[in-house]
Amino acid sequence: AKHIVASTDRTRRGEFSFRGLRGLELSGKTLGIVGTGKIGLNVARMARGFNMRVIGYDRYPNEQGAELGITYLPYEQLLGKADVITFHVPESPDTFHMLNQGNIDLLKRHCLVINTARGSVIETRALVRALSEDKIGGAGLDVLEEEPVVREERELVSSLFHQAHDLSAILSGQILLRFNNVIITPHNAFNTTEAVHRTLETTVDNIQSFLKG
């Protein structure tokens, strides 16, 4: 919303002009949360701190979401109303390509699409098209379809590779890297000292519980 990456890149080059870097205020905007489990609910709490309206979609809406001020809507209605959409759903047949060629045109032209869930939730080719045609404002992605699976060029011509992977999705992912209004991180959203400690503690607890029957 504030072009932070472009701004820091510019100043590192010694340029201090803000031309072309005008952003959006989150206050008063509508955040659409797809998947209101533990993570989605925490995002809703943060959004309230930015004075955002919060709408949500979940196959199983919960009371806690309503208590946080989330207004639940049918999925396609959410797509049309949100200024920012963030996905927090697991990978499953039901969530595969939730955002796709058939519904991405429902988004507002300035809409920002955030995905820190799983790469398969968004059809990469649809996202590339929407960005190329200036139909959405940008994207923030911590996950991609076919997350870097190509380590060597020779893998691309392997018949086994083609059977296991979607080459067009891989190429579309590479194209996404070239957009100035797209931020891609290497599946790193979870990676904090505190989160890793919680994971280790949970693992130890599980082992101890197993040993105790």
Apex CA 112: angle with CA 142 and CA 45, to 5°? 75
Question: Is 12 annotated in the active site?
Answer: no
Using only C-alpha atoms, the chain has a radius of gyration, in whole angstroms, of 19
Strands 182-184 and 84-87: unpaired
Question: Is 118 annotated in the active site?
Answer: yes
Question: Is 10 annotated in the active site?
Answer: no
CA distance 144 to 141: 7
Q: Which is catalytic among the residues 3, 118, 123, 146?
A: 118
Query: If we measure between CA atoms, which residue out of 202, 66, 201, 87 comes closest to residue 144?
Result: 87
Query: Angle, nearest 10°, between helix axes 167-176 and 124-132?
Result: 40
Strands 53-57 and 112-115: unpaired
pLDDT tens digits, residue range 163-181?
Answer: 545 555 556 667 888 888 9
Q: What is the pTM of this model?
A: 0.85
pLDDT tens digits, residue range 25-76?
Answer: 999 999 999 999 999 999 999 999 999 999 999 999 888 999 999 999 999 9
Q: Which is catalytic among the residues 15, 25, 91, 147?
A: 147
| Residue 147 clears pLDDT 90, i.e. is over it | no
CA distance 185 to 192: 14
pLDDT in the model for residue 107: 98
pLDDT tens digits, residue range 81-114?
Answer: 999 999 999 999 999 999 999 999 999 999 999 9
